[in-house]
Structure formats: structure tokens, C-alpha cells
């Protein structure tokens, strides 16, 4: 079974709104990563947060990590139509990167 | 830099045939891995390698073999293709952090190989 589970499975928002995706996992981790996948394409790395970090920012992205709850969230602020994609969290432990099932984000113009 | 390259882009096999999916990277990354992605799902780890000569199993290794004779190349072999192996296969690579908070880093993904087994 997959380590990370994203919530919601699908999200539809208006351009300019914020999008929040959540990820829960089961075992201890070294780091947690978020990736984006446009339809039919390879994955693109967005941000990595290590187990000893609580929050990280990159441009319009904000990631939080709560190791006590084994959960993470990805916030995309001021969304754009180009943000439409699937977003995956991936947990890294013992050199294995295990992906969740993803959140499909649709940003309506 | 070409990054991570995968060949072929598309492949159709008959049940029982064998083939090798090629993956190469030119970033001198220690870590390489193979994933499969089925429709509407996330990626599942097949095999991974932390350096030349070292490979290990991921979540779904059955039916697949790998080897890592060089840092650059990490081929994936399907021994006897089955319809259940119809999927999109992605190869990825990264630097390794062997420190206290060791583990992977940003993974660079190839464009994928779309495999259909009839």
C-alpha cells in the first residue's frame, strides 16, 4: 500500500484563489517532497521539507510538516490556470521515495 | 545536460516477451529509481539503486530486474511481460544525502515510457 495519502482527491477553484492539499503518511520519514505532474508528463519537483523542519516557502508555495501527526500540507497562493495539474506528496525513508495517490487540481480561468 | 533520458517512449509487447527499458542520466547522481504509474494513481517504486553495483527492491519488484553497472545507466528488464505490467514507467535520479538526516533529495524524472502488453 502507498505511504502517503492526499486529500482531497480532486479540487476545483477559481483563478486567484488559494489551493490547499493535505498529505498523511504512516511511518517515520527523513523528508517529505511535493511534486507536480501535468497530464501525460513526467513529474517535476516542487519542494522538499526535512523531518526537522516545520515550514518551508518557495515562491507561491508554502509547505508545512507535522511529524507528530504524520501529516503535511501544500498551499498554493494566488492560483493560476497554469497550476492545473496533479500534485503528489512523496515520503522518503531509508532511501525509498514512496508516493501518494495525488490531488487533481483544476484552476478555472 | 540532457538530464534523465528514457528509451523507448512507447512500446507494445505480447504476453511472455521480454524487453529492457533504458534509463540514463548525465548529472552524476548516485541515486536512481524506477516507478510505474497506472491510470489515475500515484507512482509505485519498483527498484532503486544508491550507487553502481547496489540495487534494492521497492514496493512492486516482482517481474522486473535491474542492474547498475555504471553511475549513468539503470536499465529495467521485464522478464516475461504480462498484461498487468501495462503502465507508464518513469525513471528518476537524485543526489544522496548520507548525513544524519540522510535520504534522497530532489528527484529528476525522465519523460516516461508508455508500455502496453497485449
B56 half-sphere exposure, CB direction, 13 A CA radius:
9
Which residue of B23, B42, B90 is the best one to mutate when testing the A interface, meaning the one whose CB has the most A CBs within 10 A? B42
Contact A2 B48 (CB under 8 A): no
Q: pLDDT value at position B103?
A: 58
Determine the length of chain B: 118
How does residue A1 score in pLDDT terms, banded at 50, 70 and 90? very low
- Say whether A95 and B50 touch across the interface (CB within 8 A): yes
Query: Pick from A30, A35, A100: which is nearest to B103 by CB?
Result: A30
pLDDT given at position B63: 96
Residue percentage of chain A with pLDDT more than 70: 96
Q: What is the pLDDT of residue B39?
A: 84
Q: Which helix (H) or strand (E) holds A73?
A: strand A71-76
Are B6 and B112 within 8 A, CB to CB?
yes
Cα–Cα distance measured from residue A39 to residue A62, given in angstroms and rounded to the nearest whole number = 23
> Is B42 an 8 Å CB contact of chain A?
yes
Tell whether A109 lies on the interface with B, counting CB pairs under 8 A.
Answer: no
pLDDT digits (tens, 9 = 90+) for A79-101: 999 999 999 999 988 778 889 98
Q: pLDDT tens for residues B3-30?
A: 999 999 999 999 999 999 999 999 999 9
Residue B102 has pLDDT above 80, yes or no: no
Pick from B27, B22, B31: nearest CA to B89: B22
pLDDT over 80 at A32, yes or no: yes
Q: Say whether B104 and A42 touch across the interface (CB within 8 A).
A: no
pLDDT exceeds 70 at position A36? yes
Amino acid at each position: 500500500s502507498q505511504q502517503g495519502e492526499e486529500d482531497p482527491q480532486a479540487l476545483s477553484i477559481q483563478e486567484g484563489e488559494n489551493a490547499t492539499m493535505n498529505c498523511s503518511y504512516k511511518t517515520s520519514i527523513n523528508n517529505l517532497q511535493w511534486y507536480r505532474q501535468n497530464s501525460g508528463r513526467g513529474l517535476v519537483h516542487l519542494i522538499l521539507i526535512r523531518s526537522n523542519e516545520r515550514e518551508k516557502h518557495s515562491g507561491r508555495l508554502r509547505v508545512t510538516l507535522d511529524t507528530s501527526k504524520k501529516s503535511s500540507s501544500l498551499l498554493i497562493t494566488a492560483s493560476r490556470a497554469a497550476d492545473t495539474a496533479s500534485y503528489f506528496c512523496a515520503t522518503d525513508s531509508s532511501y525509498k521515495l514512496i508516493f501518494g495517490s495525488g490531488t487533481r487540481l483544476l484552476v478555472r480561468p | 545536460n540532457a538530464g534523465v533520458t528514457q528509451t523507448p517512449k512507447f512500446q507494445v509487447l505480447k504476453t511472455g516477451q521480454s524487453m529492457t527499458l533504458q534509463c540514463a542520466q548525465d548529472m552524476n547522481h548516485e541515486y536512481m529509481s524506477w516507478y510505474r504509474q497506472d491510470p489515475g494513481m500515484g507512482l509505485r517504486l519498483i527498484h532503486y539503486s544508491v550507487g553502481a553495483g547496489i540495487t534494492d527492491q521497492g514496493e512492486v519488484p516482482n517481474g522486473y530486474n535491474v542492474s547498475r553497472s555504471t553511475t549513468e545507466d539503470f536499465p529495467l528488464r521485464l522478464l516475461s511481460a504480462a498484461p498487468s505490467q501495462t503502465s507508464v514507467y518513469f525513471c528518476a535520479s537524485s543526489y544522496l544525502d548520507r548525513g544524519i538526516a540522510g535520504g534522497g533529495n530532489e528527484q529528476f524524472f525522465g519523460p516516461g515510457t508508455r508500455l502496453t502488453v497485449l
